[in-house]
């Protein structure tokens, strides 16, 4: 007994929708890992400790030994550079607060609680994360005051930038000898009031992939789409590579 034409049309349409839906879902899983730059940070309020007045010219090669005032995770979107802190205050002892500084360039951060309103003058920031760097590329940071950038790969740790900085925005650059993945520790000292500047257009955290389950789901959905596509090919139609 032949199936009604309407039923065949409904089945064909449903299969086509399933193929399209599976492909779109798989695509979302793949594009979901396209970019999710993030890093962790620690803020040490009104603490210069062993650091020099203009910051870090003779800083130790480790994080401050005192407990952090606040820790946070910073995340950027597709159109935002991860290091994009550029906040101009009214001058010496200006009221440049922590929350405004961290989100000045469009980044988002976890809740800072009451520390979000802290004045960042005479304070230390430590940012840590992972990045992918290419040999032959010049990377730069614009910063007022001082900063140190430590990079670590399989060959060990080296100092990429160690600048005591100035009270106005300055530029520090570096290159790496080999391409690859690096972990980084960036220490920045904000002193002498605003402005507070720490930016980089070409240094970002590595892409943070979504959980592997999403990738497996995407693979399965693509497989489903292919099976449904093959199942609905007319007899005698051969798919060529």
Q: Which domains does the chain have, with CATH numbers?
A: 5-32+211-231 (no CATH), 38-199 (2.60.120)
Question: Residue 59 — φ and ψ, nearest 5°?
Answer: -75, 150
Q: How far apart are CA 107 and CA 163, in angstroms?
A: 25
Is there a contact between 178 and 156 (Cβ–Cβ < 8 Å)? no
pTM exceeds 0.75, yes or no: no
Return all residues near 11 (Cβ < 8 A) that are at least 6 apart.
Answer: none
Closest CA to 228 of 36, 68, 22: 22
CA 217 remoteness from chain centre:
24
pLDDT for the residue 113:
85
**Beta-ladder partners of 172:** 141
pLDDT for the residue 61:
58
pLDDT for the residue 28:
41
> Is residue 186 exposed (0-12), middle (13-18) or buried (19+ Cβ within 10 Å)?
buried
Closest CA to 151 of 118, 174, 117: 174
> Is residue 140 exposed (0-12), middle (13-18) or buried (19+ Cβ within 10 Å)?
middle
pLDDT for the residue 185:
93
pLDDT for the residue 95:
64
Low-confidence ranges of the chain (pLDDT < 50): 1-3, 5-14, 17-34, 54, 92, 208-221, 224-229, 235-241
pLDDT for the residue 192:
78
Q: Any idea what DSSP says for residue 60?
A: -
Is there a contact between 115 and 70 (Cβ–Cβ < 8 Å)? yes
Token code pair at residue 85: 């802190």
For residue 3, CA distances in Å to 6, 7, 132, 151 come to 8, 7, 58, 68
pLDDT for the residue 80:
87
């Amino acid at each position: 007994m032949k199936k009604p034409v309407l039923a065949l049309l409904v089945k064909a349409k449903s299969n086509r929708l399933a193929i399209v839906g599976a492909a779109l879902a798989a695509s979302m899983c793949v594009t979901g890992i396209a970019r999710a730059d993030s890093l962790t940070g620690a803020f040490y309020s009104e603490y210069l400790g062993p650091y020099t007045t203009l910051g870090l010219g003779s800083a130790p090669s480790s994080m401050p030994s005192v407990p952090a005032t606040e820790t946070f995770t910073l995340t950027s979107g597709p159109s935002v550079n991860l290091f994009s802190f550029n906040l101009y205050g009214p001058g010496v002892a200006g009221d440049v607060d922590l929350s405004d500084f961290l989100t000045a360039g469009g980044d988002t951060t976890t809740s800072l609680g009451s520390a979000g309103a802290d004045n960042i003058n005479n304070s230390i920031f430590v940012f840590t994360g992972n990045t992918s760097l290419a040999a032959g590329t010049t990377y730069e940071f614009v910063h007022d005051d001082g900063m140190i950038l430590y990079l670590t790969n399989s060959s060990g740790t080296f100092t990429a930038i160690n600048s005591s900085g100035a009270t106005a925005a300055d530029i520090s650059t570096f290159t790496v000898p080999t391409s690859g993945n690096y972990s980084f520790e960036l220490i920045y000292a904000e002193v002498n009031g605003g402005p507070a500047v720490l930016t980089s257009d070409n240094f970002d955290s590595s892409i943070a992939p979504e959980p592997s389950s999403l990738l497996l789901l995407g693979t399965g959905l693509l497989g489903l789409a292919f099976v449904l596509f093959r199942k609905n090919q007319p007899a005698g139609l051969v798919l060529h590579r």
